[in-house]
Structure 1
Amino acid sequence: MKTATTAATVLAICNLAAASSHFKRQNDTGVGLAYSPPYYPSPWMDPEAEGWQEAYAQAKAFVSDLTLLEKVNLTTGTGWMADLCVGNVGSIPRVGWRGLCLQDGPQGIRFADYVSYFTSSQLAGATWNRDLIRDRARAMALEARDKGIDVLLAPAVGPLGRFPTGGRNWEGFSPDPYLAGVAAAESVKGIQETGVIATIKHLIMNEQEHFRERGNGISYGYSVVEAISSNVDDKTMHELYLWPFADAIRAGAGSVMCSYQQVNNSYGCQNSAVLNHLLKEELGFQGFVLSDWAAQHTGVAAAVAGLDMSMPGDVTFNSRTSYWGANLTNAVLNGTVPEYRIDDMAMRIMAAFFKVGRTIEDAPEINFSSWTRDSDGPVHWAAKEGVQTINQHIDVRRDHGDLIRRIAAQGTVLLKNEGSLPLNKPKFVAVIGEDAGSRVGGPNGCPNQGCNSGTLAAGWGSGTASFPYLITPDAALQRKAVEDGTRYESILSNWEHELTASLVGEPDATALVFVNANSGEGFIEVDGNVGDRNNLTLWNGGDDLIEIVAAHNPNTIIIIHSTGPVVVSEWYDNPNITAILWAGLPGQESGNAITDILYGRVNPGGKTPFTWGASEESYGVKIVYEPNNGDDAPQGDFDDGIFIDYRWFDSQDDEPIFEFGFGLSYTTFEFSDIRVERSNASEYKPNTGESIPAPRIGANHSSDYTDYVFPEGFRRIDQFIYPYLNSTDPKQTLGDRFYGDEAEDFLPPGATDDSRRPAHPAGGGPGGNPQLWDVMYTVFATVTNTGSVVGEEVAQLYVSLGGPDDPAKVLRGFERIRIDPGTSETFRADITRRDLSNWDTVSQNWVISDCPKSIYVGNSSRNLPLHAALQ
């Protein structure tokens, strides 16, 4: 007999569940610093992992035939500029393996010609269109494949976007983990459909550029030499930052890139809690972990902590030394690194290769060089050796310009419109601002896009590409004006204030003001901004320019190109400002896309993927710009927990200027008729059982050091990283300094354990326990186009988890729907067990609390007219 549960009892259970899930950060080391607990051994591949069985079998057949030296060559990069790609692993000529070519990045192929420059991931996220996000990833990967690239270093969900001023936020999709996770999964699928391995990055908590690298503090004028530590609790890690990684791994991601900075005072690429426990054990990741470039800071410790590939291979760029290479060979020979670990590294790399449908025989030729545009030059650029044809200048773009234009237009967000848009053959258009025009040195005139002049179509850093062309807003709008017979003038400067005021003050002028705010990776400083933005103001006097134009023109339209939100409080509600659009980083078709929107060829349907606050302070967080821990590693305490972006604004009852998920259209929509269907999902059961024992793949290695020295007559290439030893004497070789019995004292407890290990209760498959994706409810709602033109609306589903420590609501579903005027379409979204769960730090599993659950449907995080309780 089931007893009735009173409301008071439910509330008590709810509070109890919430209290048990509130995690006190594990940072009590006696000195008050966050602490990352050890987790060993490194989990080995599962031959029965869903989606990996065939790849595992192929990898096993391949790896079984390899020698120790050949396995080490698989795992160690050849060195910075030692080969054609931004990263290469060594070849194995005996079996016909040419090695792997790894190349950036998230907005297009870096260091190559005749490639497309796509929109930023952030702008793709603003489309809220799963198909377009997947198409974008597939197109980038097709270009990568045709250049001979095997591993595309994309997509990025780290940084997630905790800080609105974060330098690399544009490389990711959104600070909301659900939106970021959906986009990451679609991107992984799109990339790997082409036979290219996707790399989900940067694992994890890589939320700022300042102090991200070991020794990076010196460049800021400070004496600190250790990278910043991102300090986070278990609940926040799971419910926020790890969430999109789980989606990407469930989608089959072949590789994961670990990050530069520390996590709870342990470097990301040797953090056993992150790599062994969270990634490989709990999330069941079967692919390989590669280091960010020079983010590896140790040899053996990184190997047993779960790192599988060292990039670019040398300790520091062109150092001629490596933590792995010969050191890894020797570490296996002397027993410091167990044989199964090197086998597991090689297996993971090759399984990822075979999983995307590749074979040893079909490796495409690498037909470009990252280091020069010359047709002929050194293959081994650092050594200036091996001169031959290295750039074939193959055009791989196809018709991707049309796709880029479509994504850029669909991602553009209409933030304000008082009826001035769409334009219809205006009498006189005055375009104002340097952001509308060309860069003096051309679109590729700044290395890694490290400047801010002309129109902003891309951020700066390793996530950049080379423009094959760049359609500026000035060029596209002038062409449209000529077609329409419109008078057209442009002042492509932010500083010609008197001339600007005079021009826009003329009768019948429609003023289009283009402004921007830029950011990028921390190895480049632009206008005093070292990667991260110093503030949320517009750059190059953009706010002053807007106020001048609006003071003299009653029909001022603002177009913002930026890498995230900017503060618009001083001018957004000026009655002379009749429209505001955010166009993000639109890539090569920038001008065409914004013209499509301004003139109504495309009805805007983008939704802002982040919140626009009234001030920088309203976000409640600030980047660590100065050391806060003496000369030791700066400490970044993530005390805001899961409350970032719109979750934070909701918790503070703070009204944003433009809320997360907001975006206007040239038509109007109405939501009605919400309906919820409950499924018959089975009861959730924790994962149980044990792993297989650590497998040995192939024959045991010889213990004779003469088998591992450089072959007689071998020609060594300068700065190239090899697996060979320099000496047959273990104490004289370049190998690890720990050998013999000392290894037992050096390694953490359990690091070399090869026995069966217990299953993680939240594990059981790629991404976690498969039951987490069981559908619990299906939600339906009707969306009607009540206007006069066809449009696309993004229906959004939010869930209230109901606990006292939960956000007011969290995004848990969305769909972009095309609707003809006067007609209706049905929005449908599934709610999974994971969508309704909290992370319980006691049971180390996901649990659905007894707190009352509610759902909301609408078209932004603050406009949710439909509501229902989940029974």
Structure 2
Amino acid sequence: MSIRGLLGFMLAQGSWNKDLAHQRAHFMGNEAKIKGVNVLLGPFIGPIGRVVTGGRNWEGFSVDPYLSGTLVHETVSGIQDAGVVTSTKGFVVSDWGAQMSGVASALAGLDVAMPNGAGKWAGNLSLAINNGSVPESRLDDMATRVLASWYKMKQDEDFPAPGYGMPADLTKPHEVVDARNKGAKPTLFDGAAEGHVLVKNSKGALPLDSNRMKLISVFGYSAKAPNYNTPEGADNPWRFPPWTMGLQAANATEVNIGWMGNLSISYTDIAPNGTLVSGGGSGASAQSLISAPFDALISQCREDGTALSWDLESGNPDVNPTSDACIVVGNVWASEGYDRPTLRDEFTDRLIENVASQCANTVVVFHNAGVRLVDSFIDHPNVTAVIFAHLPGQESGKALVSLLYGKTNPSGRLPYTVARDEADYGRVAKPDLTLPGDQYGMFPQSDFTEGVFIDYRHFDARNITPRFEFGFGLSYTTFDYSDLSASTVSDALQPYPTGQVVEGGQEDLWDVVAVVKATITNSGKRDGKEVAQLYLGIPGENTPAKQLRGFEKPLIPAGVTATVRFELTRRDLSVWDVEAQKWLLQKGSYQVFVGRSSRDLPLVGTLTI
């Protein structure tokens, strides 16, 4: 069992909560250490999320580099605080079977080939060193960097034997090494709850009132737990087994075909066999427990004396006309191995429309491993509430019911933009694909001509109105913003950094040079957490109108006022100078925006450098 799977990366990013990201990571590191796992292959960065239909987007934190970078920092520090090495995906370690050269890989800086160097390095690396193709100093560098991590994490002092708690075959008798920590329970629940994003709430639909709910009707394939949750033996027919790869609710045959690069079949948009707590692939983890929405609703209705009816199979169910609320639970499937076919699916859209045509209070919930378009039903007057639950982990149902009934106040925010139409994303809506016979054959080319203009920066530059903007999310209370201030706090405002090169670049790139403050008042009747977001308009040609450069998530009781403070480093304010090959801090005026989302920014000011 792993906290990584129980609280997915997308869930962590939807929470916009740095403390939760750190806690999640620390429990992951603790579990790994107890089981003798020296290195965790993550977190994932790179251009994750650039292609909107990307099958592995759910493994990363966000398409936005600041949000992603902040949560990656918390993840790395949390895991390494527990004594386990992180391998931020994309650096010094190859992906499985991804090493495509021998000498060139060594000279380019590859230190470790996974799962081995067969066919490339193996004995050939020794040959290359002996004949001078690879300097011996490069081999020393490889070994030094691997061993340096070992010693820095003190794994030579107090660490279990490698793989101590990782049996090769779980279906065979083995010693159980239970790495679960009861102290992780609050993190599991809070992470699941805060990762849900409420994007529509009309007619006072939510929270549900237990005293007024006489009958609730539930529909949709993602409400119940998958029909099985147990490891497969070595004689299973799959190259990528469902339990190991998080495919219990999905079509395992499709995933195994897709993994081998077959682009000629039409893949399913959803996981039709149960609720989603994780996407599919090597980033998934096997579950030891799942609280499904349907199970949690049964418990709540039993406590309240509410009648419950359901149809979790039909796409056109009969709806009891006396239902006080109808809850439709669908999902968005994505997996390593292939990309999503679309950003919506007709079956779920029709299901929602069919229920809404018979029920005046229809609440829609998506367990989504990526962006999901909603314009086919979002304006239906009977669709009163919509929640993007993302991938909530084992506490999925418990967290959802707590939110539906107002025991927990929604505080999640979208870590991506939801468009009105797929075409609004431009050329990055789908991957660059070529088929055999084309110029590049099996090696599609992406030239990144869009530059940094993806997601909200693309929508701003093209003046496209999204359905739900980056950073958006509703609460059961209201927050008012006031008293913006922005000022420099350092005299070291020369154009280029002058510090020594350390991990992360020149050390003074991370000096705080400016501070922005704002006041937030909870003007509603419920306590709640607000995600205050800071965006900057950095001067220069071909720069986005605004870019995220800070976020804080204070808990503010009803009627109370709080001050949020954003510290801006030299790096936050700089642009890359291609001629000087340094980060440049420009003189001039920087626009400052603070508010609730990338398009709801009531406070506007100027910072002068």
With the length of structure 2 as denominator, give the TM-score of the two structures.
0.90
Equivalent residues of 2:38, 2:162 under 8 A apart: no
CA distance in structure 2 between the partners assigned to 1:143 and 1:494 by the alignment? 40
CA distance in structure 2 between the partners assigned to 1:467 and 1:618 by the alignment? 37
Q: CA offsets per residue over residues 710-757 of structure 1, 9 Å max, x none?
A: xxxxxxxxxxxxxxxxxxxxxxxxxxxxxxxxxxxxxxxxxxxxxxxx
CA distance in structure 2 between the partners assigned to 1:684 and 1:603 by the alignment? 45
Structure 2 match to 1:756: none
Q: CA deviation at 1:356?
A: 1.7
Structure 1 match to 2:257: none
Q: Report 1:306-455 matches (<5 A).
A: 306-314=109-117, 321-359=118-156, 362-364=159-161, 366-369=163-166, 371-375=168-172, 391-399=174-182, 400-418=184-202, 419-425=204-210, 426-442=213-229, 446-447=242-243, 448-450=245-247, 451=250, 452=271, 453-455=273-275
Q: CA offsets per residue over residues 164-187 of structure 1, 9 Å max, x none?
A: 111111111110000000000000
Structure 1 match to 2:565: 828
Structure 1's 349 and 128: CA in aligned 2 closer, same or farther, altered over 3 A?
same
Structure 1 match to 2:100: 297
Instruction: Verify: 1:521 aligned to 2:339, yes or no.
Output: no
Instruction: Give the letter aligned to residue 420 of structure 1.
Output: A
CA distance in structure 1 between the partners assigned to 2:231 and 2:59 by the alignment? 19
Instruction: Verify: 1:489 aligned to 2:309, yes or no.
Output: yes
Instruction: Verify: 1:626 aligned to 2:434, yes or no.
Output: yes
Structure 2 match to 1:868: 605
Q: CA deviation at 1:585?
A: 0.6
Instruction: Give the letter aligned to residue 310 of structure 1.
Output: A
Instruction: Give the letter aligned to residue 554 of structure 2.
Output: I
Q: CA deviation at 1:626?
A: 3.4
CA distance in structure 2 between the partners assigned to 1:344 and 1:116 by the alignment? 31
Equivalent residues of 2:324, 2:361 under 8 A apart: yes
Instruction: Verify: 1:156 aligned to 2:44, yes or no.
Output: yes
**TM superposition outliers: structure 1 runs of 4+ over 6 Å:** none
Instruction: Verify: 1:179 aligned to 2:67, yes or no.
Output: yes
SS of 2:532's partner is strand
Structure 1's 392 and 859: CA in aligned 2 closer, same or farther, altered over 3 A?
same
Equivalent residues of 2:334, 2:370 under 8 A apart: no
Give the superposed CA RMSD.
1.9
Deviates more, 1:352-361 or 1:793-802: 352-361
What is the aligned counterpart of 1:670 among 472, 480, 498? 480
What is the aligned counterpart of 1:798 among 535, 551, 556? 535
CA distance in structure 1 between the partners assigned to 2:87 and 2:500 by the alignment? 21
Structure 2 match to 1:248: none
CA distance in structure 2 between the partners assigned to 1:603 and 1:841 by the alignment? 46
Gaps spanning 5+ residues in structure 1: where?
Answer: 1-107, 110-114, 204-255, 257-288, 315-320, 377-390, 523-530, 689-761
SS of 1:502's partner is coil
Structure 1's 629 and 307: CA in aligned 2 closer, same or farther, altered over 3 A?
same
Instruction: Give the letter aligned to residue 179 of structure 2.
Output: V
Instruction: Verify: 1:819 aligned to 2:556, yes or no.
Output: yes
Equivalent residues of 2:531, 2:551 under 8 A apart: yes
SS of 1:644's partner is coil
Q: CA deviation at 1:374?
A: 3.7
Equivalent residues of 1:679, 1:775 under 8 A apart: yes
Structure 1's 865 and 776: CA in aligned 2 closer, same or farther, altered over 3 A?
same
SS of 2:453's partner is coil
Gaps spanning 5+ residues in structure 2: where?
Answer: 233-241, 251-270
SS of 1:799's partner is strand
Q: CA offsets per residue over residues 763-819 of structure 1, 9 Å max, x none?
A: 711111112112121011000000001000000000001333111100000000100
What is the aligned counterpart of 2:400 among 594, 604, 607? 594
Equivalent residues of 2:43, 2:72 under 8 A apart: yes
Instruction: Verify: 1:510 aligned to 2:320, yes or no.
Output: no
CA distance in structure 2 between the partners assigned to 1:471 and 1:322 by the alignment? 45
CA distance in structure 2 between the partners assigned to 1:669 and 1:687 by the alignment? 38
CA distance in structure 2 between the partners assigned to 1:850 and 1:181 by the alignment? 25
CA distance in structure 2 between the partners assigned to 1:305 and 1:638 by the alignment? 22
Instruction: Give the letter aligned to residue 129 of structure 1.
Output: N
SS of 2:342's partner is coil
CA distance in structure 2 between the partners assigned to 1:560 and 1:303 by the alignment? 45
CA distance in structure 2 between the partners assigned to 1:766 and 1:116 by the alignment? 26
Q: CA deviation at 1:685?
A: 7.0
Q: CA deviation at 1:415?
A: 0.4
Q: Report 1:16-35 matches (<5 A).
A: none
Q: CA deviation at 1:482?
A: 0.3
Instruction: Give the letter aligned to residue 214 of structure 2.
Output: K
Q: Report 1:718-733 matches (<5 A).
A: none
Q: CA deviation at 1:116?
A: 7.4
Q: CA deviation at 1:323?
A: 2.1
SS of 2:148's partner is helix
SS of 1:501's partner is coil
CA distance in structure 2 between the partners assigned to 1:159 and 1:650 by the alignment? 20
Identity of aligned pairs, percent? Answer: 41
Structure 2 match to 1:679: 489
Q: CA deviation at 1:517?
A: 0.9
Structure 2 match to 1:193: 81
SS of 2:142's partner is helix
Structure 2 match to 1:247: none
Q: CA deviation at 1:850?
A: 4.2
Structure 2 match to 1:43: none
What is the aligned counterpart of 1:532 among 316, 334, 339? 339
Equivalent residues of 1:159, 1:169 under 8 A apart: no
Structure 1 match to 2:260: none
Equivalent residues of 2:219, 2:311 under 8 A apart: yes
> Higher Cα Rg: structure 1 or 2?
1
Structure 1's 865 and 444: CA in aligned 2 closer, same or farther, altered over 3 A?
farther
Structure 1's 557 and 335: CA in aligned 2 closer, same or farther, altered over 3 A?
same
| Structure with more relative contact order (C-alpha pairs < 8 Å, separation 6 or more) | 1
Equivalent residues of 1:116, 1:397 under 8 A apart: no
CA distance in structure 2 between the partners assigned to 1:492 and 1:414 by the alignment? 23
SS of 1:435's partner is coil
SS of 2:327's partner is strand
Instruction: Give the letter aligned to residue 340 of structure 2.
Output: R
CA distance in structure 1 between the partners assigned to 2:371 and 2:167 by the alignment? 33
Q: How many residues align?
A: 567
SS of 2:502's partner is coil
CA distance in structure 2 between the partners assigned to 1:810 and 1:116 by the alignment? 29
CA distance in structure 1 between the partners assigned to 2:519 and 2:574 by the alignment? 27
SS of 1:126's partner is helix
With the length of structure 1 as denominator, give the TM-score of the two structures.
0.63
